[in-house]
Structure 1
Amino acid sequence: MAAKSAYTLVNPQNGDLAFKIFTFEDASHFDHVQRLNYLSMLLITEGEATLKADFTDYRVEKDNLLCFSPYQPFMLTEAEGVKGVAINFHPDFFCIHKHHKEISCSGVLFGNIYEPPYVSLQSGERQSLLSLVDQMKVEMKNPELAQYDLLISYLKIFLINASRIKVAQQPEEKRSLEEGTAPYIIQSLKDAIEEHFRTRHSAGDYAELLNISGNALAKVVKSYFNKTLTGLIAERIIIEAKRELYLTSKAIKQIAYELGFNDEYYFSRFFKNNANVSPQIYRDTVGFAKEEEY
């Protein structure tokens, strides 16, 4: 009997993908532009291909681990004998911002266009990561309540190990990007949103911070992310709101205030419009209250 090639967990609230592992025997799954609403990692075990990501082409090959942030466009072309395993996970399942201090992979594995979006592995490192993948597959077949906690633990270990490998490979000084170019604007925008999303919610705020016209910034964002700048800002606010609802017992009014909303009801409408569920229902089903039960 053939081994199962895909293992999937779905968010019961909205039916969206939460976590998935699948093997691929060629590059056909990735031969068109991917703009996924979750994080994605591809571990190439055989072959080689041209990776088109951000604004650059890279030649990737066996024992490369490719890492992509949500909505980061990428595709594989000119593939020759490519095989491997993919790991996809939604920020609702595992938020790299929430676990930043533990894994430090945000800006190392994901979201840094100053560096190539892949890690080169030695054969022992590849086998160590593939062993963790096998352990995650075992847990995904396990119906016990501890399934989620163990999956998160294995995923953390995977990310920590991959981050350490990439950090060891990075040069002391990052490659600089020419000011005013699209890559420079995108990286500057990511940095600005991360620093100011609690206090600056409008697209105009970021155009002003980056000293660029609103239309020019909107055009770059649409080209790169295929979404609006307002949508990007909202997404980062929602990630933080979910983090607070999940990890703390803070009143929703307090969370709203800390995220720059003076009106709790406006914040609740904003959350529901972007997360398809109210803050209270989110907390009751996946957040702090549920955590306290165990």
Structure 2
Amino acid sequence: MNNQNTLTLVNPTNGNLAFKILFFESNAFFDHIQRNNYYSLIWIKEGSGILKSDFSEYKFSTNHLLSFSPYQPFMLIPNGSISGVALQFHPDFFCIHKHQTEVACNGVLFNNIYQPPFVLLDTKSTNTLQLIIEQICFEMQNPALAQTELLVSYLKIFLITASRLKTEQHKQAKEDTTNTKEPFILQSLKDAIEAYYREKHAVNEYAEMLNITPKSLAKITKTHLNKNLTTLISERIIIEAKRELYLTNKPIKQIAYELGYQDEYYFSRFFKTNTEISPQVYRNTVGFDRQAKVSIN
């Protein structure tokens, strides 16, 4: 444990963060680009401002819950004072990929290239999450038998609650735009990227598939997703690359080939350009062949 504003569990084998809850009353923790090797959930309880994440900017305000994957770059630029609470956990403590059937947050809260990396909390979810935060704090200040298992259970409830809410809000937003042409094109684009991201990496290939000019498609993605098409394609490839590096022991050369890159070194440069670390460093610090695993009793 650190102090009254930060409660931390560490990996006893290497001293690195396993799970942390942080209460903040300023932007001092997030006023520079973050690229953490753990998941972050940041609940803005008071304040508003601009969120810079990946290649986009978004507005955030009170009761927004922000969510970021390992090594996803982000920074907060508040309009004034800001306060809230953050939950941070390493994949060794809780792997969202391995527990996807239990919490279903992968592709919703995390690793979602089509939606902003946050959800607006309503009254019901706010009350639920506040109770969970209080339970987590109590458990971390009064550790007992099976502490890790209980903390993981609280974390699961937190993730499920937020994922359900974001899914509901996305469905409503989709219904609100059902009768317009552009969202239809976007859905076709999403389907195309999911089907062909391993073999088609060029913007013009997707524009041709959708019978639309690259310029028009770029305008639609920028307007509705706040990202350009090149970024969407790259992010989808990176998500899959990270999954393979994290969950498997496949050689990097094989992962590159399966993602449509004949040259392993070109793929490594592409990965580093988008994440600022190499595939091998990502695997060593987050992924499959980490020598030290969390073991907290």
Alignment of 1:101-120 (within 5 A): 101-106=101-106, 108-109=108-109, 111=112, 117-120=119-122
1:102 Cα deviation (Å)? 3.6
2:203 partner amino acid: A
- CA shift in 2, pair 1:102/1:174, >3 Å: same
Ranges in structure 1 where 5+ consecutive residues have no aligned partner: 10-17, 139-145
For 2:218 and 2:173, how far apart are their aligned partners in 1? 30
Distance in 2 between residues matched to 1:280 and 1:51, nearest whole Å: 33
Cα 1:277/1:50, change in 2 over 3 Å: closer
Q: Which amino acid is the alignment partner of residue 128 of structure 2?
A: E
For the residue of structure 1 that corresponds to 2:181, the secondary structure is coil
Match of 2:243 in 1: 243
Map 1:134-173 → 2, pairs under 5 A: 134=137, 155-164=155-164
C-alpha displacement of 1:159: 0.7
Question: Residue by residue, what CA displacement relative to the aligned partner does 1:157-185 show, whole Å, maximum 9, x if unpaired?
Answer: 4212333466689989961523333x555
Q: What amino acid is aligned across from residue 250 of structure 2 in structure 1?
A: K
Does the 8 A contact of 1:25 with 1:84 survive in 2?
yes
In the alignment, which residue of structure 1 is the partner of 2:258? 258
**TM-superposition CA deviations, 1:79-125 (whole Å, max 9, x none):** 9x9853345789999886675434212455565759x9324243651
**Residue identity opposite 1:247 in structure 2:** L
Cα RMSD (Å): 5.5
Q: What percent of counterpart residues are identical?
A: 46
- Sort the Cα spacing of 1:164 and 1:200 in 2 relative to 1 into closer, same or farther, 3 A: same
Alignment correspondent of 1:288:
288
Q: Write the letter of the residue equivalent to 2:65.
A: L
> What is the CA distance between 1:250 and its match in structure 2?
1.5
SS in 2 for 1:287: coil
Deviations 1:220-243 (A, max 9, x none): 444566654223322221222122
Deviation at 1:253, TM superposition (A): 2.7
Identify the range of structure 1 (244-253 vs 257-266) with the bigger mean alpha-carbon deviation. Answer: 257-266
Report the Cα distance in structure 1 between the residues aligned to 2:88 and 2:293, rounded to whole angstroms: 28
Amino acid at match of 1:127: Q
Structure with the bigger RCO (C-alpha within 8 Å, sep 6+) is 2
TM-score of the aligned structures, taking structure 1 as reference length: 0.59
Amino acid aligned to 1:234:
S
**Alignment coverage as a number of residue pairs:** 269
Distance in 2, Cα, partners of 1:82 & 1:291:
38
Q: Deviation per CA, 1:243-293, whole angstroms, max 9, x where unpaired?
A: 212211122232222212233343334334433444334334432221587
Aligned partners of 1:244 and 1:255 also within 8 Å: yes
AA matched with 1:262: Q
Verify the 8 A CA contact 1:22 1:86 in the aligned structure 2. Answer: yes
Match of 2:133 in 1: 130
Checking the alignment, whether the CA contact within 8 Å between 1:98 and 1:243 is kept in structure 2 is: no
TM-score normalised according to structure 2 size: 0.58
Task: Say which is worse superposed, 154-163 or 235-244, in terms of deviation.
Answer: 154-163
CA contact (8 A) 2:132 2:154 kept: no
The aligned counterpart of 2:175 is 175
Distance 2:190 2:40 in 1: 18
Task: Identify the residue that residue 15 of structure 2 maps to in structure 1.
Answer: none
User: C-alpha distance in 1, partners of 2:187/2:91?
Assistant: 20
> How far 1:217 moved relative to its partner?
2.3
Is the 1:73–1:224 Cα contact (8 Å) retained in structure 2?
A: no
Q: For 1:97 and 1:196, how far apart are their aligned partners in 2?
A: 22
Closer, same or farther: CA 186–132 of 1 in aligned 2, 3 Å? farther
> What stretches of structure 2 of length at least 5 have no aligned partner?
11-17, 142-146
